[in-house]
Amino acid sequence: MRSEREYVAGLYGRLDAERARVKARHRAALRGTGGTPLERDDEVRSLGREAKRLDVADNGLCFGRLDTLSGDRLYIGRIGLFDEQDDYRPVLMDWRAPASRPFYTATGANPEDMRRRRQFHTRGRQVVEFTDEVLGRPGDDERGDAALLAAVNAPRGEGMRDIVATIQAEQDEIIRLDHPGVLVIEGGPGTGKTVVALHRVAYLLYTQRERMERHGVLVVGPNPAFLNHISRVLPSLGESDVVFVTPGDYVPGLHVTAEDTPEAARLKGSLKILDVLRAAVADRQRLPEEPIPIELSGITVRIDVPTVEWAIEEARASDRPHNEAREVFTEIVTYVLTERAIGRLCKGWLTPDDKEEWESQRAHLCKQLAEDDRFAAALDELWPTLTPQTLLAPLYESPERLRAAGADPALFRADGAAWTVSDVPLLDELVDLLGRDKAADRAAELAAARERREAAEYAEGVMGMLELDREEIDDEFSLLARDVVNSVQLAERQGERDTRDLAERAAEDRDWTYRHVVVDEAQELSEMDWRVLMRRCPNRSFTIVGDLAQRRSVAGARSWGAVLTPYAADRWVYRSLTVNYRTPAEIMAVAAALLAEFAPGVTPPESVRASGVRPWSRKVTADELPAAIEEFVRDEAGREGTGVVIGPPGVPGAVPPSETKGLEFDAVLVVDPDKILEDGPRGAAELYVALTRATQRLGVLHRGALPKALSDLVER
């Protein structure tokens, strides 16, 4: 034990020295003047990322050791460390390195040239104990599970923990899978599919860093609570170039405030809505009801139907998005009006052969049109500049416009701008159909540049007040102020170059493309959602996580092939996880009975453990329900870990099952399961989700009849 403690203490000493060295280089880079501004900026960013990576390694730096048959010892940990004095010999192997793989995959039957696996149990920076597995023994065909059981039985905290010390062979195979396209990971509740996907991201960033680090990774989760739950995993593994979003966040700056009916969600999620969107755009390209008079040099010319028909035909034939095609429309209308005006103004003395004078007259008239408010208003009426919001909101509010676009009347709503999650893919699609409003984009760029200059001025003021010696900056706050100043000054030298970190830039840029995308609860995504995500990742590198049996959305996936084949016909592979590490056998037996009723062809995952605590139920009256819920909350407050009340709308203090997807709690109280079953077309899947959130204890309160699948619960 002493030698292991000394070795791990030595690793922490190396970590501290490396951290100090990187931070010193980072400070020097901030002060540096050598090289080009771009080279200096890249160095600052690179050293900043390395400093973050080293800062997260304190917790569980080294968690095990492998002894090979040849007598070598390999220490396995969160990051890699090397002995610079001994030809950079590895003193700690990164868990993602090929040499570390046997730590997760070696068994007695297949020891992979390993003699022993040692698992450390640490508190802070100190090894408190370890467990050994001697590999290759006759009959010893399974990995020892002491560390795994300790991890799955531990009380749950605020967020998801990484499993870097306890990855199982089934999981490790998926994490390290060498597949450049789309990987689908399907597994029932508690199989660890989410955390496996996140560790796969960390592995890909480790093995393909040069290819991936400039574009980053997008992680899509079902709701903000879920993203908050998983958000610590990748930073704990030293990876920060990751953007976390929900399907409501695809369009930067948009706020979802409403919820669709199931029928509206189904209609919006189908690819058939594309025809509606195209027709809605075309409907805003209008013919004038009456000719529109325009005054030019004292004469009146008119924008009539034949002129607009020709202009619309030419603009559409350009294959440009609507807003960009407005330029073609304007050119045609301008040409017709100026031709007519010149013909009348110069009749009798100017012939078409006098090209120079003709063009001079045209330039003069074009200038008049460009400054004419009536002409500008006519263009806005016939071919308006549109944003996705100014097209879609009026469409929803108008039965006439819906009818003209061939839309189902079910899409009508009084407040068109009360955006729902199902609207977001439509708004994103419209960005491409409409194209950019260049004037608005330029205004936004100028505003951003102004904000950066103001930030520079503020930071310079702070530094002036502190009277800092620029050669001796050690204070964190002072260093931050200096970083802001240097970044902004660099941006000014580079033509207002963006100095935000990758995750910030990507999250605010609708056109950003990622090197890899992780999609969790993927069975809930509609066909339109998949169009958005495929647009974000042109190289089709995805890790997709889901469970078709838990699908709730009427617009969601019914098969993986149906949603993926149009985009990656021969580039997607399927893997499944079959072991439940979260839900004890007693609780899973109840959930499996429900699963057999609504998805009889699906095999439930096998629980790796039993808790010894049987789930219970209690029938209560409406008057007794609040007190029974308070009793559960009070009892769980006195225990270590987390608890939650899950129920249908109207239950005091309860969250809906949909808000708990992907989450886990030590104790769960499910209220009114019969009402959950009645709530929508996928009520059984909702109840299945609710029952499988618990890692230790499950209780059920019911006012109505207890569903048949729950009849084996112990009555209290």
The reply to whether 409 and 288 lie within a common domain is yes
Q: Which of 46-60, 117-131, 239-253, 364-378 shows the lowest mean pLDDT across its residues?
A: 46-60
In DSSP terms, which residues pair with 81 in a beta bridge?
92
> Taking a C-beta distance cutoff of 8 angstroms, is the pair 482, 466 a contact?
no
Amino acid at position 367, single letter: K
Q: Rounded mean pLDDT of the chain? A: 86
Q: How far apart are CA 652 and CA 626, in angstroms?
A: 7
Give the end of a domain, one of 575, 595, 629: 575
The reply to whether 36 and 83 lie within a common domain is yes
Q: Identify the domain containing residue 557 by its residue range.
A: 182-246+510-575
In DSSP terms, which residues pair with 64 in a beta bridge?
76, 119
The reply to whether 535 and 394 lie within a common domain is no
Cβ-in-10-Å burial (0-12, 13-18, 19+) of 138 comes to exposed
The reply to whether 675 and 631 lie within a common domain is yes
> Taking a C-beta distance cutoff of 8 angstroms, is the pair 337, 296 a contact?
yes
Q: How far apart are CA 547 and CA 595, in angstroms?
A: 12
If one counts the domains in the chain, the total is 4
Whether residue 445 lies inside any domain: the answer is: no
Please write the tens of the pLDDT for every residue from 575-601: 999 988 889 999 999 999 999 999 898
Amino acid at position 220, single letter: V
Give the end of a domain, one of 575, 604, 627: 575
Determine if residue 287 is left, alpha or beta; phi over 0 gives left, psi from -120 to 50 gives alpha, anything else beta.
beta
The reply to whether 241 and 192 lie within a common domain is yes
Whether residue 461 lies inside any domain: the answer is: no
Whether residue 383 lies inside any domain: the answer is: yes
Amino acid at position 305, single letter: V
Q: What is the reported pLDDT for 472? A: 43
Indicate if the pLDDT at residue 486 is higher than 70: no
Indicate if the pLDDT at residue 129 is higher than 80: yes
The reply to whether 150 and 288 lie within a common domain is no
The reply to whether 604 and 567 lie within a common domain is no
Indicate if the pLDDT at residue 65 is higher than 90: yes
Task: Kindly indicate the confidence band of residue 345, based on its pLDDT and cuts at 50, 70 and 90.
Answer: confident
Q: What is the reported pLDDT for 471? A: 41
Say whether 117 sits in a helix, a strand or coil: strand
Q: What is the reported pLDDT for 446? A: 65
Indicate if the pLDDT at residue 473 is higher than 60: no
The reply to whether 192 and 150 lie within a common domain is no
- Annotated binding-site positions for ATP: 187-194
Q: What is the reported pLDDT for 496? A: 46
Say whether 140 sits in a helix, a strand or coil: coil
Indicate if the pLDDT at residue 164 is higher than 80: no
Indicate if the pLDDT at residue 456 is higher than 60: no
Nearest residue to 115 (alpha-carbon basis) of 106, 124, 123: 106
Q: How far apart are CA 169 and CA 181, in angstroms?
A: 22
Whether residue 175 lies inside any domain: the answer is: no
In DSSP terms, which residues pair with 123 in a beta bridge?
126
The reply to whether 382 and 293 lie within a common domain is yes
Q: How far apart are CA 473 and CA 31, in angstroms?
A: 10
The reply to whether 596 and 635 lie within a common domain is yes
Q: How far apart are CA 467 and CA 602, in angstroms?
A: 69
Q: In sequence order, what DSSP letters do the residues of 303-355 get, joined into one string?
A: E-HHHHHHHHHHHHHTT--HHHHHHHHHHHHHHHHHHHHHHHHTTTT--TT-H
185 alpha carbon, distance to own chain's centre: 17
Higher-confidence residue: 549 or 409? 409
Q: What is the reported pLDDT for 294? A: 95
Q: How far apart are CA 625 and CA 43, in angstroms?
A: 61
Q: What is the reported pLDDT for 76? A: 93
Please write the tens of the pLDDT for every residue from 200-227: 998 998 898 878 878 889 999 999 988 8
Indicate if the pLDDT at residue 56 is higher than 80: no
Measured CA to CA in angstroms, residue 176 lies from 100, 172, 262, 539 at distances of 11, 6, 39, 19
Whether residue 170 lies inside any domain: the answer is: no
Q: What is the reported pLDDT for 58? A: 78
Whether residue 463 lies inside any domain: the answer is: no
Task: Kindly indicate the confidence band of residue 270, based on its pLDDT and cuts at 50, 70 and 90.
Answer: very high
- Annotated binding-site positions: 187-194
Task: Kindly indicate the confidence band of residue 494, based on its pLDDT and cuts at 50, 70 and 90.
Answer: very low
Nearest residue to 456 (alpha-carbon basis) of 504, 490, 417, 405: 490
The reply to whether 268 and 358 lie within a common domain is yes
Q: Tokens 């049996």 map to which residue?
A: 549
Q: What is the reported pLDDT for 151? A: 60
The reply to whether 28 and 148 lie within a common domain is yes
Q: What is the reported pLDDT for 478? A: 44
Which residues have C-beta within 8 Å of that of residue 654, sequence separation ≥ 6? 629, 645, 646, 647, 648, 671
Q: How far apart are CA 94 and CA 84, in angstroms?
A: 16
Higher-confidence residue: 230 or 154? 230
Task: Kindly indicate the confidence band of residue 355, based on its pLDDT and cuts at 50, 70 and 90.
Answer: confident
Indicate if the pLDDT at residue 570 is higher than 50: yes
Whether residue 110 lies inside any domain: the answer is: yes
Give the end of a domain, one of 410, 434, 458: 434
Which residues have C-beta within 8 Å of that of residue 321, sequence separation ≥ 6? 432, 433, 434, 435, 436
CATH number at residue 539: 3.40.50.300
Whether residue 350 lies inside any domain: the answer is: yes
Q: How far apart are CA 340 and CA 590, in angstroms?
A: 81
Q: What is the reported pLDDT for 397? A: 98
User: In the structure encoding, which two tokens stand for residue 672, read together?
Assistant: 């009114």
